[in-house]
Chains A and B, each alone.
Chain A
Amino acid sequence: MKILEGELKSLKQEITAMFLLVQSQMEKVNAALIKFDKDLAREIISTEKRVNAQELNIDRECENIFSLYQPVAIDLRLVLAILKINNNLERVGDIAEGIAKFVVEANNPFHKDLLEKTGIIKMFEEVLLMVDLIETAFTNEDTALARSMFVRDEVLNNINMQAVKNVADYIKQYPDNVEEALFAVSIVRKLERVGDQITNIAEEIIFSVEAKVLKHSKKKQKQ
């Protein structure tokens, strides 16, 4: 094996570890929200430091590969893609931490009716599936699977667009729960952002494998 191939293999292992770490953060924050588990929420906030440290570690590995091995062609595209995927994953980690902070700050458990009516439960299901699938797409260099993220993201976007109306309806029904209803709007917005981060990652996987730049292209062209 060439030295660079060894370095790229190691880099892939590190970004896979980052995928799994962020996936775990999202799964835990889902559980913390539904079960109103403040201890679990605090654990997520604490683990965010590991996410940040791993981001820096991967950044440094990419820098080393650029400076020491000057990768080109498919190798260059892989390192560039991993650098950006890393950044997107770190932001997903930030979002998990942000939702965990709501759980810590909230005085009462989130009303099940609120989580359902705002679509948060559905969004979490979709986000957790997308995080899992995008990791598989990266590992298997599966650009068809990566492309399927653009369709899945539409589900999140649609729920997000309905969020204000749904929360308004909820507040009319439960006027005493305004504070947690507002938290819910923020959570919807954050989960919608996770969808965007995952589609960004999908674009990077496609760039890495097919050398096609989909950034800023229209959705139909992406699919």
Chain B
Amino acid sequence: MYKIETTNINLFYGNFQALTDINLLIKENTVTALIGPSGCGKSTYLRTLNRMNDLIDDVRIEGKVLIDGKDIYEKKVDVVELRKQVGMVFQKANPFPKSIFENVAFGLRVNGINDQKYVAEEVERSLRRAALWDEVKDKLKKSAFELSGGQQQRLCIARALAIKPSVILMDEPASALDPISTAKIEELIYDLKKNYTIIIVTHNMQQAARVSDNTAFFYLGKLIEHGVTKEIFLNPVKEATQNYITGRFG
């Protein structure tokens, strides 16, 4: 069974069709990179996986998204619970105006967990998993804004991990970072896939090639090609994919 199964997804913003017949199967504990030019629908697709598009007015979604075999668009699904299971990291690090510790503890507290010892353990565990613990363990009470951009992004990943998701969505998580911070995020993604299923949107072809097991190429709202990353980058089947990844597009 696949971790995520999307079947015949069509998504409309009013009269505009942003996604057309997307069928994509994603295995557990893999990294899938979504690539394609701006406006091709990759971020829209990403947001269908935790129902973030529900927040947008006039959006209409057809088709099925199954996570662990359950349809996440069924009426009885609790969206808050869904987003606990499917965490998200955005392009720009968005820490809360709180201490480093409280940023990571936030999700736990919102969920009513106030056992200080447990919260402290989970904060440490999450920061370790996000490869940030050694850099912040002596300044947990400092403001999250004192961290560098790369550290802030890893803090946001730690915050997402603290609520114990099984899927992590990343929307260009390293596009605003310097090469060293980018390398750390990429190493982190590589380590995290042992325990999580990760879907990452990226404009950086080399990053997609480096971090992902599978790559999906979107164009004009359609999934053009999906396959093993090594194959896509050595011998893509579709000409459009080849033109895009070799920079000959348009």
User: Which residues of A are at the interface with B, using a C-beta cutoff of 8 A?
Assistant: 2, 4-5, 70-77, 211
Which single member of B206, B234, B242 contacts A70 (CB below 8 Å)? B206
Interface status of B235 (Cβ within 8 A of chain A): yes
Assess the B234–A76 pair: CB atoms within 8 A: yes
Interface status of B247 (Cβ within 8 A of chain A): yes
Assess the B236–A73 pair: CB atoms within 8 A: yes
- In the bound assembly, the distance between CA atoms of A76 and B205 in angstroms comes to 13
User: Chain A binding site: helix, strand, loop or mixed by DSSP?
Assistant: helix
Closest chain-B Cβ to A46's Cβ sits at a distance in Å of 41
Contact with A along B200-224 (1 / 0, CB 8 A): 0000011001000000000000000
- In the bound assembly, the distance between CA atoms of A71 and B246 in angstroms comes to 7
Assess the B206–A74 pair: CB atoms within 8 A: no
Task: Please tell me the number of chain B residues within 8 Å of chain A, measured between CB atoms.
Answer: 13
Q: Which residues of A contact B206 (CB under 8 A)?
A: 70
Could you pull out 30 A-B pairs where Cβ atoms are within 8 angstroms?
Answer: A2-B247, A2-B248, A4-B246, A4-B247, A5-B248, A70-B205, A70-B206, A71-B246, A72-B205, A72-B209, A72-B234, A72-B245, A72-B246, A73-B233, A73-B234, A73-B235, A73-B236, A73-B241, A73-B242, A73-B245, A73-B246, A74-B242, A74-B246, A75-B246, A76-B233, A76-B234, A77-B234, A77-B235, A211-B234, A211-B235
Nearest neighbor of B206 in chain A, beta-carbon distance: A70
Nearest neighbor of B235 in chain A, beta-carbon distance: A211
Nearest neighbor of B245 in chain A, beta-carbon distance: A72
Q: Which residues of B contact A71 (CB under 8 A)?
A: 246
Q: Which residues of B contact A73 (CB under 8 A)?
A: 233-236, 241-242, 245-246
Q: A70-B205, A70-B206, A73-B235 are in contact. List 19 more A-B contacts (CB 8 A).
A: A2-B247, A4-B246, A4-B247, A71-B246, A72-B233, A72-B234, A72-B245, A72-B246, A73-B233, A73-B236, A73-B241, A73-B242, A73-B246, A74-B242, A74-B246, A75-B246, A76-B233, A76-B234, A77-B235
- In the bound assembly, the distance between CA atoms of A211 and B209 in angstroms comes to 18
Nearest neighbor of A80 in chain B, beta-carbon distance: B234
Q: Which residues of B contact A77 (CB under 8 A)?
A: 234-235
- In the bound assembly, the distance between CA atoms of A211 and B242 in angstroms comes to 13
Q: Which residues of A contact B247 (CB under 8 A)?
A: 2, 4
Nearest neighbor of B233 in chain A, beta-carbon distance: A72
- In the bound assembly, the distance between CA atoms of A74 and B234 in angstroms comes to 7
Nearest neighbor of B248 in chain A, beta-carbon distance: A2
Nearest neighbor of B208 in chain A, beta-carbon distance: A72
Listed residue (B241, B242, B246) with the most chain A CB atoms within 10 angstroms of its CB: B246
* Closest CB pairs A-B (n = 3): A211-B235, A72-B233, A73-B242
- In the bound assembly, the distance between CA atoms of A179 and B217 in angstroms comes to 66
Q: Which residues of A contact B246 (CB under 8 A)?
A: 4, 71-75
Closest chain-B Cβ to A84's Cβ sits at a distance in Å of 15
- In the bound assembly, the distance between CA atoms of A77 and B209 in angstroms comes to 15
